[in-house]
Chains A and B, each alone.
Chain A
Amino acid sequence: MKQKGWKDLAPGSVILEGGNAVNFKTGSWRAFRPVWIEENCIQCLFCWIYCPDMAVKVKDSKRNEFDYDFCKGCGICALECPGKKGKKAIEMIEEGK
Chain B
Amino acid sequence: MATGLKLKELSKKEDLFTHGHRMCSGCGAPIVVKMILLATDYPVVASNATGCLEVSSCIAEYTAWKIPWIHTAFENAAATISGVETMYRSLKKRGKMDKDIKFISFGGDGGTYDIGLQSLSGAMERGHDMIYVCYDNGAYMNTGIQRSSATPLGADTTTCPAGIAIPGKIRPRKNLTKIMAAHNIPYVAQASPSNWMDLMKKVRKAHEITGPKFINILSPCNRGWRSKTNDAISLSKIGVNTCYWPLYEIENGVTKITFKPKEKKPVVDFLKPQGRFKHLFAPENEWLLTKMQEEVDTEWEKLLKEEQCV
Contacts and interface: CB of A to CB of B under 8 A. Distances in A.
Interface of A: 15, 17-26, 29-30, 44-46, 48-55, 58, 60-61, 67, 69-70, 72-76, 78-80, 92
B62 A24 contact: yes
13 contacts: A19-B66, A21-B62, A22-B20, A26-B20, A45-B7, A45-B8, A50-B233, A54-B34, A55-B19, A74-B232, A75-B229, A76-B233, A80-B233
Interface in B211-229: 228-229
Contacts, number: 121
Contacts of A46: 7
Nearest to A78: B230
B200 to A, nearest CB: 10
Given A49-B10, A61-B11, A76-B231, 10 more contacts: A18-B67, A45-B11, A49-B34, A52-B25, A52-B26, A54-B19, A61-B12, A76-B233, A79-B230, A92-B230
Interface residues of B, number: 45
Contact of A15 (B11, B25, B58): B58
A19 B64 contact: yes
A49 B68 CA distance: 23
Contact of A74 (B7, B9, B26, B67): B26
A23 B62 contact: yes
A50 B193 contact: yes
Nearest to B30: A52
Given A61-B11, A74-B229, A18 B20 contact: no
Q: What is the predominant secondary structure among interface residues of chain B facing chain A?
A: loop
Interface in B1-32: 7-12, 15-31
Interface of B: 7-12, 15-31, 34-35, 57-58, 61-69, 193, 196, 228-234
B7 A44 contact: yes
Of A21, A23, A45, A58, most B-chain CB atoms within 10 Å: A21
